[in-house]
Structure 1
Amino acid sequence: MDELLARHKKETRDLVAATTGMRKQATKSTRKEVLRRIEQMEQDLKDRHERELRELTGEAQEAEEITPEQLLAQMNLSSETPAEKEPAAKTEPKKKRNRQKERLAKREAEFKKLQQEAENEASAQPNLKELELKNIADLCTAARLVQHNITPDGHCLFASIADQLQQRHNITMTVQELRTRAANQIRNDPDTFAPFLFDEDKMEVRNVEEYTDKLETTIMWGGDLEILALAREFDCPISVMMSGRAPLRVNENGQQPELKLVYYQHVFGLGEHYNSLRDMV
């Protein structure tokens, strides 16, 4: 029982920390969906904890539990002869404790306490969303760059590079064409890209064909691997501005004009995001 309760407490604290971060990162347009998702996550965890607790304690067995008063009454009745029996005095029935209900109420109180503690802790932390926005705005001003906003979805990296190619190379490419170009670069030179395909969970290199098929045919998010592949494809450097870190620069020996992107980690509720950086006019 102690082991189960300790695990439940840890899972509750982890969930509270995760949902607090989700609330802080939600934008005006995504807040409703984020809050709905948080409510569902909390209810799912609560339901699972209650089910596991019932399975461990045996709710059905508890329902049949006999109180000491009932046991004593049964013993007295069985020891009496018919002649000895007297009309039983009318007594008020003793209300049985619902221990399962008490446990669940206690757990609910613990969950609310943990949630409040996590919210208090989160409120004391710096607002990463606001900090990231300010840092990147300052970096853009210093570099005389302006952001061209890209829709935050699984295609944002490729859409940002498409905008950069149009602005700096006068090349028009669709998102799908860029996905195919990146996939072909990886397929044709797997040794160069193998370090990016290492799966730390499985401790092995992911299958190149499976990865590139997914890259080409789904809305899988792009990252450093795809940036390098497209930098080599178009023989140009690509730089990625980031808050609190030096810019990432890949393929610095490329001969064509540099493509410039900005990377967000905290601002968008869906997670990581890329925008295109155009020169200030």
Structure 2
Amino acid sequence: MDEMQKKHRQEQKDLQSRIMQKKKSATKKTRKGINDECAELEGQLKEKQAAELSSLTEPPVEDEGVNDVIVDALEEEEAKEPSSGLTASLKSMSVSVHSAPDGPPKKQNRQKARLARRAAEQEAATEQAEREAADLPDLREQEIKSMREAYTAKGLTKHEIRSDGHCLYAAIADQLEDLKIGLRPKIKITTNDVDPTATNTGYKTTRQVAAAYISENPDDFAPFLEEPLPEYVKTIRETGEWGGHLEILALAKAYKVDINVLRADGRVDKIECGPENAPHQLWLAYYQHSFGLGEHYNSLRRTC
């Protein structure tokens, strides 16, 4: 029992670690699905551990009705071949076992048996999934290699951005400062949360600018949101929530610049909000598999 409890505690710890990793990698669109998946994993583990504990705490029980099945089969055989001595003998033995003087037969706990069977099936499925995963290519290494080839071919070099919820805003701030554009937005923003004279405050300023622009232009963004716009803006302004396409669009409009987002397969997502023939364009690298927290943006600077 002590060994079983120790094993269960380790399984629970491992599951919590998996759940934490899944939730960290969730986006706004995938969060509900991942939460449901995590709840299902927790339920499966509880069922599996309950079945294992039951196998230790209760003795094996006789399968209910097994002798009845034997007797039925023998009677069917006897109907085909009457006066069969072997059939009669086996039937007698079966009946004697069924009515042994040790008391009434114990009923099988079918629910626990079903849970144990389900746990065994889930464990087998998990092992199969792990074997299949071992045969898959290393997506992280492939993405890093492909991305390096893609930005090198465009005369760009990677400037590493810290992998956290602020990476998009920090990458755009790095681009604005590297290109001497500055963090002061190019349009008038009336909110008090943005200091128009702010310099060298990095992602904090770009976060506030994105929040302010979205707040002051609700018709451009509200149709694409799954929550009320004020709550969405508050999340941008006050938390470390990841940014995505809408925030890139808001910042491109606020700073009146073109922003190019390079993907590992060489595709470039272009957000064109700058003047025609603008001397500078911002470049970001978008990763899906290379960082533990999930999606990530790096800043791409010109090599010369």
Q: Structure 2 length normalisation: TM-score? A: 0.59
- Structure 1 residues 213 and 230, CA gap change in structure 2 (3 angstroms): same
CA distance in 2, matches of 1:246, 1:134: 15
- Asked whether 1:260 is paired with 2:271, we answer no
- CA positional deviation for 1:218: 1.1
| CA shift digits 1:188-245 (9 cap, x unpaired) | 2222223432x3xxxxxx3222211211111111111111111111111111111225
- Does the 8 A contact of 1:241 with 1:263 survive in 2? yes
**Matched ranges for 1:123-162 at <5 A:** 123-162=134-173
Q: Percent identity?
A: 38
Q: What is the aligned partner in structure 1 of residue 3 from structure 2?
A: none
Amino acid across the alignment from 2:175: Q
- Does the 8 A contact of 1:264 with 1:272 survive in 2? yes
CA distance in 1, matches of 2:171, 2:43: 37
- CA positional deviation for 1:161: 1.0
Q: What is the aligned partner in structure 1 of residue 299 from structure 2?
A: 276
- Structure 1 residues 215 and 194, CA gap change in structure 2 (3 angstroms): same
Structure 1, unpaired ranges of 5+:
1-15, 27-37, 54-64, 70-89, 200-205
**Matched ranges for 1:164-203 at <5 A:** 164-169=175-180, 171=182, 172-197=200-225, 199=226
Structure 2, unpaired ranges of 5+:
1-14, 26-36, 52-61, 67-99, 183-199
**Matched ranges for 1:90-129 at <5 A:** 96=106, 97-129=108-140
Structure 1, 211-220 or 245-254: larger mean CA deviation: 245-254
CA distance in 2, matches of 1:157, 1:278: 15
Q: What is the aligned partner in structure 1 of residue 252 from structure 2?
A: 231
Whose relative contact order is higher, 1 or 2, with alpha carbons under 8 Å and at least 6 apart? 1
Amino acid across the alignment from 2:127: Q
- Does the 8 A contact of 2:146 with 2:265 survive in 1? yes
CA distance in 2, matches of 1:253, 1:170: 12
- CA positional deviation for 1:140: 1.8
CA distance in 2, matches of 1:140, 1:276: 11
- CA positional deviation for 1:143: 1.5
| CA shift digits 1:46-90 (9 cap, x unpaired) | 215788x9xxxxxxxxxxx9x779xxxxxxxxxxxxxxxxxxxx9
Q: What is the aligned partner in structure 1 of residue 46 from structure 2?
A: 47
